[in-house]
Amino acid sequence: MKKKRVFHRILIVAGISMMSWLLYYLVWFLFDPDLRMEFYKGWPFHPLEMLLDYAVCCFVTFMATIYYLRSYDRAERERDRYKLLALENQINPHFVFNNFSTLAELIEVDPQKASKYLMNLSKVYRYALSHLEHDKVSLQDELTYLRQYLQLLSERFGDTIRVNISPEVADGQGSVPPAVLQMMVENAIKHNEHTTAHPLTIDISSDGKNITVRNNKRLVSVPESTQIGIHNIEERYRLLTRQKVRIEDGIDSYAITVPVIVEN
């Protein structure tokens, strides 16, 4: 992709230089009567002079193009940074709202369990605050966060949700956007039935380059959706890596596959 981009930029410089070079000679021809007289008698331009003029055009065009492209790339990076920040800021209130709603329900039903849930929630939230400031986190840090989040799920739902993390993921390297695995697990829980009779099974696996979160499918109606989950993940990957998030929506299962970001 990088070689292709460089080749395209070389073609742009060569094309603009050629047009500038031809325009230079055309203007010279139109506004210089002596040159027109020489042209009618024979070709007035020496090949070496023409080649030198074209080289000057290439140099000037190259410098102007580099300046423009650097300014454009800088503006794009700044725009993407603000977009990414906005997407990350969506996660924080989303996380708080969901878990505080659960805490409110537990306080009424089981105050002792609510107290334990609050202690674990504070640990998870502290971790989230420290890591959501970054565009990327290591896969191991993300797994630490995910396991703390799974403890909250266990306190809330018991054995109705089963999450299996493969050894390839547990030992994996690289980076991912913060809270991406947690959001994929949360998405599965939000849209599927999870009861003692019909537990929700979520498998997290990896092929070394990608991580897949797959769950069995027993859909429930979700009347109010914040539209944060999958769209948020897709946009963050688009801004960070330009790589796409893959979604497999089958009859009996649903899977989301995200790339592992490897630093060059």
What pLDDT was estimated at residue 168? 94
Each residue's pLDDT tens digit, 88-145: 555 555 566 667 777 777 777 778 877 887 888 787 777 767 776 677 889 999 999 8
CA distances from 254 to 143, 193, 225, 231 (A): 21, 13, 18, 16
Each residue's pLDDT tens digit, 202-228: 999 999 899 999 999 998 876 555 556
Give the C-alpha separation, 94 to 79, whole Å.
Answer: 23
Average pLDDT of the segment spanning 17-33? 69
What pLDDT was estimated at residue 82? 46
Q: Which domains does the chain have, with CATH numbers?
A: 2-73 (no CATH), 80-259 (3.30.565)
pLDDT above 60 (res 84): no
What pLDDT was estimated at residue 136? 86
**Tokens describing residue 183:** 């959001």
Which run of H or of E encompasses 248?
Answer: strand 246-249
The mean pLDDT value of the chain amounts to 77
pLDDT above 80 (res 192): yes
Each residue's pLDDT tens digit, 142-186: 999 899 889 888 877 888 999 999 999 999 999 998 888 988 998
CA distances from 109 to 50, 102, 112, 118, 208 (A): 88, 11, 9, 14, 43
Contacts of 165 (CB under 8 A, 6+ apart): 143, 146, 204
Give pTM, 2 decimals: 0.64
